[in-house]
Structure 1
Amino acid sequence: MLTTRPGEAASYKEAFVIVSDLFTLPAFVAYLALGIFYFVAFVVTYIWITPQREMALIRDGNLAAAISLGGAALGFVQPLASAIAHSVSLTDLALWGLVAWIVQLLTHFVLRLLVRDLRRKIEEDVRSVALFVAIVAICVGTLNAAAMSY
């Protein structure tokens, strides 16, 4: 942190601190890029495996589809963020991100077994069902994230 006032020159030591902080920038970019890649890939995969067409439903104003998809996305990104925060390498992040991915997809399949006619209810914009599905996905994601904080 700079302790100089506006118009004053930074000391050599202060300038060194700023420059040395930038040495971690490549790691930041790498972790962020992998996180964004995993997030986008998860959402694409989730949309692909669900029987309803979420994006078309969302474009048509179906709130249930948006709630359900948003809950799954949040349920995935929580453990992904935990993996980013606690990983010791990009490989470590990639492995734990994959675990988060699998757990969230399994959560969806379990919910499809538990909620009768889930597809029809989402397509018919039954928001109570969508909210339940989203909350379960977020709860599982929260537990998954906590388990990754080893």
Structure 2
Amino acid sequence: MESQWMYLLNFLVYLGVTLPLMAFGIFVFAFTTPYKEYELIKNGAETNDPQKMAAAKAAAHDLGGKMIGLAIVLASAIFHSVNLWDLVIWGVVGTVFQVIVFYLFELLTPFKVVSEIPKGNVSVGIFASRLSIAAGLLMAALISY
């Protein structure tokens, strides 16, 4: 029974480190994109304007994909980390590389993601979302190597 308490304590400690890492990642994502995801999402819910509604969907897909990609990286970091500092390092690395992937995507595409999402191009938001998830899966595998 005593060992169960140690597992619970370990769970709580890692959760206490992981949730702020996730919040940090979301903050970095929102800070590094020139459009304001939360504002676009909020404005899309408070209007009947089809463009604002589409922009909200595009931003939600984009931000949601980044969050899932980062969660995948953090899950791998939790599983493979040897201690809490290892988890923190890989969490920060994962966040930085998710931002780099976004801007590489911006650089390599024939359109500008940063202008298409606020215009309501949902397809670009979905594509950016899937790219973030794919990058998260790849980074998670790299952590385990």
TM-score (norm. length: structure 2): 0.86
Q: Which residue of 2 aligns with 1:55?
A: 38
Describe the SS at the equivalent of 2:139.
helix
The unaligned stretches of length 5 or more in structure 2 are 45-55
Deviations 1:56-81 (A, max 9, x none): 00112210000000011111110111
Matched, 1:92 2:86: yes
Which residue of 87, 101, 110 maps to 1:107? 101
| Cα distance between partner residues in 2 of 1:54 and 1:112 | 16
Q: 1 or 2, which has the higher helix percentage?
A: 2
Q: Structure 1 residue 148: deviation in Å?
A: 1.3
Where does 1:17-36 land on structure 2 (aligned, <5 Å)?
A: 18-36=1-19
After superposing on structure 2, the runs of 4+ consecutive aligned residues of structure 1 that deviate more than 4 Å are none
The unaligned stretches of length 5 or more in structure 1 are 1-17
TM-score (norm. length: structure 1): 0.84
Larger radius of gyration: 1
CA-based RMSD of the aligned residues comes to 1.2
Count matched residues: 133
